[in-house]
Amino acid sequence: MKITLTVNDQVYTRECAPSKNLLHFLREDIGLTGTKEGCGAGECGACTVIMDGKAVNACLVLAAEANGAQIRTVEGEAKDGILSPLQQKFMEHHAVQCGFCTPGMLMSLRELLERNAKPGEHEIKQAIEGNFCRCTGYQQIIEAVLDLTGQLEHKGELRHV
Amino acid sequence: MYDQIDQKDLSFVGHDVPRIDAIEKLTGEAAYVSDMILPGMLHAAVKRSPHARARIVRIDTSKAMALPGVRSIVIGDELDYRIGLYVVDKYILAREEVRHYGEAVAAVAADTLIIAKEAVRLIEVEYEPLPAVLAPLDAINIDDPAKPGKAPLVHPKLGEYDHVRNAFTPQPGTNVANYTKFRKGDIDKGFAEADWIVERQYTNPSVQHVPMETHVAIVQWQAGDRITIWTSAQSPYAVRNLFCHSFKIPHKNVRVIIPYIGGGFGGKAGIGIEPLVACLSRKAGGRPVKLQATREEEFSLLPCRSALTYRIKTGVRKDGKIVAQKMTMYWDSGAYADYAVNVTRASGYSCTGPYEIPNAWVDAYTIYTNKPYGTAYRGFGHVEFSWGLERQMDLAARTIGMDPLEFRRLNTLKPGSVTLTGERITEHTGNVTKCIEEAARGIHYGKLTKEEAARQKKTGWKIGKSVAGLQKAPAMPPFTGTAIFLKMNEDGTATANVSLTDMGQGTYTSLAQMLAERLRMPVENIKIAFECDTDRDPYDWQTVASKGLLIAGNAAILAADDLLANAYDMAGQILRALPCDLDHDGKGVFVRHNHEKKISFAEMAAGYAYPDGNGIGGPLVGVGRYIAQGLTNLDKATGQGNPALDWTYGAHGLVAEINEETGEYNILKVCSVFDVGKAINPAEVRGQAVGGMIQGLGTACCEGYIYDAEGRLLNPSFTDNKIFTAMDLPEVIESAVVETAQLDGPFGARGVGEHSMIGVCAALGNAILQVTGAELTHMPIRFEDVWRALQTKQSPDAWIVKSPVKHL
């Protein structure tokens, strides 16, 4: 079947097997490999993309279901080679380690920030609850978002004692 | 490599420099092996055993082979190659017999993954199920593990297997893959001297590493046995060496390339699926083949952390001094030895913890069972034994009526103390007492704050606090080394090639900071090349053991010094000055007494050219080589020797609130303190401290393999084997460091990557115990486990085997 969707403001039309999921369509048919596969079962959130304004696990959406949809992926986050403010805060706060969960994490947070410009700590945690990160322990990610939204009271630090 | 330099005089070291790999990871541009597609690439899938132990009667691949698009199928009978790190005990695919649930018996490469999976379904395997041995204590003769027991042998040919003889002792005719022992002092005299003796058994299950990127490899086996391996692995040279050893192929023919890695945690430390993928490629006429483990396969086809059952018997004097301790550890290796034999050895020499115990006796066994096999896992055995050891410290302290914190302070290793293997601790080794004290201060140990008291009153949930000490040294051969190539670029920036990998732990950024400090140029001017390539990058043993920062850091300093020596040599000729009169800044070399006389690194990068075209010097490079100094193998009879590159000490303080009716608990605060020698990049140290703590709490609270009675893994998914999410975080997380300089560490630093996992599990158990009396001896601590322990309220008297009090 033929499907057409808009990814990061670019229109793509491709032949696609009805059984193909959106994740594999993005990675294999369009070549956008920023979105990762961590489990293929909707449990880890590594494949999170924004579909028509909502964060979804791309492994649980058929590409055919996304026909006509507006998709945003990590590749759309930086503009003209400049990191978005969210990405910059991730860098400043060391919110990245292995980087494999990072694209999905950014998309969950992007969706959150678009519906809530000043999310509290609990709302940030809820937004990324479905995004597993085995490296960071989440703390520096949460601080990055609090800082971005002007809510970080104390910069997290390593105390020297 | 340590020069005492004040932090105020350091421009890059000791600063929160952003990660050098942040941009490509934040934009999704960093290419992992799972993202790679090569021309003509085939996709592979694996047929796995549904049995824990069975004879393979017949494998019929004819229907699978007939499926259009299938290019190669391999089964065990045709692959007579064994692989193994320390004991060479594993075939690439099971031959004659499967030894664990999920073991690979056949594999397919096809045009698409869908075809490969369909072909796997069409492969018919007839099994004759055999009795499996699932528990380590059932697998051995418990009275004398050196003698045969009643259980079937997982490896009847154990005596024929090659193994690393100076470190490991398999027991042929038994299921013991390795036996390691340690003897210090006089154990009988020690127990005789003790007023109190407590003895208890502890257990931990197997757990899964959960790297977000599952194991994945692409291998191309071309004509003339020229092989290229792209793999998500921690140690390029270990993959190459083990691969060549198995296939008897010259090392020069095999090229291992490792780009960005989506997490490792020890699970990718050695060799994994690469040999199998190689065989599929060879049989498919040299086309590249890609195999990526599914998440389910990550749990059972690939290795896990070994389960552990252990007994600790501790003798204590009335004054609180530990005088004797006997520990017997039964490591459940699963079907293959892999790293588990070395986990046994390394945790053995460390298992007295950060405490001085004058008379100690340790017997540690690695035991084969018919389960998925164990491998390295962040902490390398220390998380596992620390659980029981630190629970035991609380038991001993409470038994003699001493505060557990005071008990620990009294018994910690201090300058002059002697470790289990006979190493004398100095004032430079690190300061565990201070770590423990600072962790206690961090949680307001021994009292409730006003807020905590109010909270306890309001909720009715009791608030408990505890502190656990910890320590770990790198588990590595005594002669572990690495090399770094440093190259000056034509514009005066510099690029370094290393084979240590950065799988997220951040070592590359720290190396860049050290190079920047030495070269006196901004970190932005230095690149550590991601994508390790054994054809181009110099040797590194493995990226494991929290040794990378120290060993590669020293090599980086030596590489910078070597490059600078070459630069000074060239500059001396150009500037007509003695090298001893030269100095450098980030741009180039100048004469110390005449700064106008200078020559830039850029002008010397390719070798210097005079105006008339004459050239001198040659391209500006530096080589740094470093090898661990002064370490020894351990005596096999006593375990005595010097195995420790460095000891990183630390402590975890934890505050939990517990509902005594239901067994539910919340973790309110965790405070970690490590003596890192020098925090090269404090923000990255904090990342390791927090990340490891949360990984540790996952294993403390909810993670663990569950098997049915036939040895089938019941929970190979994130639905049934939960890991911590952002919603599970403790309310407050604090990280601190002590900096007692390591005299042979780069800028005084020692590693801390694994240590952050170690103490939190026992700290949680002890905090729950402190206010509820719930005695927990098994990890993880689920709410139902707390509830059960609260129902039984077992008296600590049950574990007292010697007491000065008559009625006992």
Contacts of B105 (CB under 8 A, 6+ apart): B47, B48, B49, B56, B59, B75, B76, B93, B94, B98, B125
The 10s digit of each residue's pLDDT in B310-356 is 999 999 999 999 999 999 999 999 999 999 999 999 999 999 999 99
Query: Among all chains, which residue has been given the structure tokens 């020297």?
Result: A160
Whole-number Å distance between alpha carbons of B237 and A26: 34
Tell me if B692 and A137 make a contact (CB, 8 A cut-off).
Answer: yes
Entry field: residues in chain A? 161
| Chain A CB within 8 Å of residue B718 CB | yes
Name the phi and psi angles at B738, rounded to 5: -105, 145
CA distance A4 to chain B (A): 23
Q: Where are the beta strands (DSSP E) in B570-680?
A: 582-584, 588-591, 594-600, 608-609, 615-616, 621-627, 648-658, 665-675
Count of pairs with CB atoms under 8 A, one residue in A, one in B: 198
Tell me if A94 and B686 make a contact (CB, 8 A cut-off).
Answer: yes
Name the phi and psi angles at B405, rounded to 5: -70, -45
CA distance B392 to chain A (A): 28
Is-contact B292 B568, C-beta < 8 A?
no
Instruction: Answer whether residue B306 shows pLDDT above 90.
Output: yes
Angle at B408 between CA B404 and CA B410, to 5 degrees: 115
Whole-number Å distance between alpha carbons of B481 and B496: 17
The residue-averaged pLDDT of B708-737 equals 97
By three-state DSSP, how is residue B595 classified? strand
Cα separation values, A95 from A92, B18, B525, B560, Å: 8, 10, 23, 30
Instruction: Answer whether residue B208 shows pLDDT above 60.
Output: yes
Whole-number Å distance between alpha carbons of A77 and B43: 31
Whole-number Å distance between alpha carbons of B663 and B781: 10
Name the residue in chain A with its Cα closest to that of B263.
A98
CA distance B178 to chain A (A): 31
Cis peptide before B796 (omega within 30 of 0): no
Instruction: Answer whether residue B808 shows pLDDT above 60.
Output: no
In the numeric block, which tokens belong to residue B685? 């140290």
pLDDT of residue B793: 81
Is-contact B358 B396, C-beta < 8 A?
no
* Alpha-helix runs per DSSP H in B135-210: 136-139, 187-193
Tell me if B35 and A27 make a contact (CB, 8 A cut-off).
Answer: yes
What domains can you pick out in chain B, each with its CATH number? 7-30+480-627 (3.30.365.10), 33-131+215-292 (3.90.1170.50), 304-476+633-792 (3.30.365.10)
List the single best residue of B27, B215, B675 to mutate versus A (max A Cβ within 10 A): B27
Chain A contacts in chain B segment 386-445 (CB below 8 A): 434, 438
Burial of B16 (0-12, 13-18, 19+ CB in 10 A): middle
Residue B729 Cα to chain centre, angstroms:
23
CA distance A157 to chain B (A): 7
Is-contact B278 B219, C-beta < 8 A?
yes
Is-contact A43 A106, C-beta < 8 A?
no
Average pLDDT score over chain B: 97
Instruction: Answer whether residue B230 shows pLDDT above 90.
Output: yes
Name the phi and psi angles at B76, rounded to 5: -60, -40
| Chain B CB within 8 Å of residue A27 CB | yes
In the numeric block, which tokens belong to residue B209? 């590493």
Tell me if B729 and A137 make a contact (CB, 8 A cut-off).
Answer: yes
Is-contact B63 B47, C-beta < 8 A?
no
Average pLDDT score over chain A: 97
pLDDT of residue A155: 85
The residue-averaged pLDDT of B633-637 equals 95
pLDDT of residue B162: 94
In the numeric block, which tokens belong to residue B510? 């720290």
pLDDT of residue B806: 64
The 10s digit of each residue's pLDDT in B356-384 is 999 999 999 999 999 999 999 999 999 99
The 10s digit of each residue's pLDDT in B236-280 is 999 999 999 999 999 999 999 999 999 999 999 999 999 999 999
The 10s digit of each residue's pLDDT in B773-788 is 999 999 999 999 999 9
Please tell me which of the candidates B26, B261, B690 has its beta carbon nearest to residue A137.
B690
Residue A95 β-bridge partners: none
pTM of the model: 0.98
| Chain B CB within 8 Å of residue A25 CB | no
Instruction: Answer whether residue B78 shows pLDDT above 60.
Output: yes
The 10s digit of each residue's pLDDT in A18-31 is 999 999 999 999 99
Is-contact B137 B312, C-beta < 8 A?
no
The 10s digit of each residue's pLDDT in A133-148 is 999 999 999 999 999 9
Entry field: residues in chain B? 808
Is-contact B676 B741, C-beta < 8 A?
no
By three-state DSSP, how is residue B142 classified? coil
In the numeric block, which tokens belong to residue B660? 């005594």
The 10s digit of each residue's pLDDT in B422-432 is 999 999 999 99
Residue B355 β-bridge partners: B412
Residue B467 β-bridge partners: B653
Contacts of B436 in chain A (CB under 8 A): none
Contacts of B23 in chain A (CB under 8 A): 83, 91
What domains can you pick out in chain A, each with its CATH number? 2-76 (3.10.20.30), 85-148 (1.10.150.120)
The residue-averaged pLDDT of B3-17 equals 95
Chain B contacts in chain A segment 48-107 (CB below 8 A): 73-75, 77-78, 83, 87, 90-94, 96-103, 106
Angle at A115 between CA A109 and CA A120, to 5 degrees: 65
The 10s digit of each residue's pLDDT in B119-174 is 999 999 999 999 999 999 999 999 999 999 999 999 999 999 999 998 999 999 99
Sign of the C-alpha dihedral, residues A141, A143, A147, A149? positive
Tell me if A38 and B26 make a contact (CB, 8 A cut-off).
Answer: no
| Chain A CB within 8 Å of residue B295 CB | yes
Sheet order of strands, B124-129 included: B97-98, B54-60, B124-129
Amino acid identity at A114:
E
Could you tell me whether strands B359-368 and B176-184 are parallel, antiparallel, or unpaired per DSSP bridges?
antiparallel
B365 membership: H or E segment, kind and range = strand B359-368
Is-contact A119 B250, C-beta < 8 A?
no
Chain A contacts in chain B segment 680-699 (CB below 8 A): 682-687, 689-695
List the single best residue of B43, B112, B725 to mutate versus A (max A Cβ within 10 A): B725
Name the phi and psi angles at A78, rounded to 5: -85, 145
Is-contact B364 B347, C-beta < 8 A?
yes
Angle at B115 between CA A11 and CA A14, to 5 degrees: 10
Name the phi and psi angles at B350, rounded to 5: -110, -5
With a pLDDT cut of 70, the percent of chain B lying above it is 100
pLDDT of residue B417: 98
Is-contact B731 B355, C-beta < 8 A?
no
The 10s digit of each residue's pLDDT in B444-456 is 999 999 999 999 9
Closest CA to B294 of A7, A21, A50, A41: A41
Residue B720 Cα to chain centre, angstroms:
24
Contacts of A130 in chain B (CB under 8 A): 725
Tell me if A100 and B212 make a contact (CB, 8 A cut-off).
Answer: yes
- Indicate left, alpha or beta for B320 from its phi (over 0: left) and psi (-120 to 50: alpha): left
CA distance B537 to chain A (A): 21
List the single best residue of A57, A134, A145 to mutate versus B (max B Cβ within 10 A): A134
Tell me if A34 and B679 make a contact (CB, 8 A cut-off).
Answer: no
Q: Which letter does DSSP use for residue B235 in this model?
A: -
Tell me if B690 and A75 make a contact (CB, 8 A cut-off).
Answer: no
Instruction: Answer whether residue B725 shows pLDDT above 70.
Output: yes
B22 membership: H or E segment, kind and range = helix B22-26
Burial of B14 (0-12, 13-18, 19+ CB in 10 A): buried
By three-state DSSP, how is residue A7 classified? strand
pLDDT band for B807, please (50, 70, 90 cuts).
low
